């Protein structure tokens, strides 16, 4: 689907968050992935509101 992390690491806007939630629902996506090195309250909010689980990954363990 995409990413919400901005190049300057600032938080996404309220509109960005609302669009992500809407897209997750529209596409019926099964999961969200996030880096365990930078857990985000925004990602947790999106997960709750879209009713989609977050799977945290460790950047050092990616294939």
pLDDT digits (tens, 9 = 90+) for 2-19: 666 666 777 888 998 999
pLDDT at 61: 60
Helix axes 41-50, 14-27, angle to 10 degrees: 40
Residues 21-48 pLDDT 10s: 999 999 999 999 888 777 788 889 999 9
Collapsing DSSP to helix, strand or coil, 2 comes out as coil
Task: Supply the CATH number for residue 27's domain.
Answer: 3.40.50.1980
* 40 within a domain of the structure (yes/no): yes
* 48 within a domain of the structure (yes/no): yes
**Residue 47 φ/ψ, nearest 5 degrees:** -60, -50
Q: Which domain holds residue 54?
A: 14-61
* 5 within a domain of the structure (yes/no): no
Question: What is the domain count for the chain?
Answer: 1
Check whether 49 has a pLDDT greater than 90: yes
What predicted TM-score, i.e. pTM, was given to this entire model? 0.75
Check whether 63 has a pLDDT greater than 70: no
């Amino acid at each position: 689907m995409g990413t919400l992390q901005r190049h300057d690491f600032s938080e996404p806007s309220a509109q960005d968050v609302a669009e992500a939630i809407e897209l997750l629902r529209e596409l019926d996506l099964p999961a969200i992935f996030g880096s365990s090195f930078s857990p985000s309250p925004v990602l947790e909010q999106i997960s709750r509101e879209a009713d989609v689980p977050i799977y945290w990954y460790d950047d050092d363990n990616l294939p």
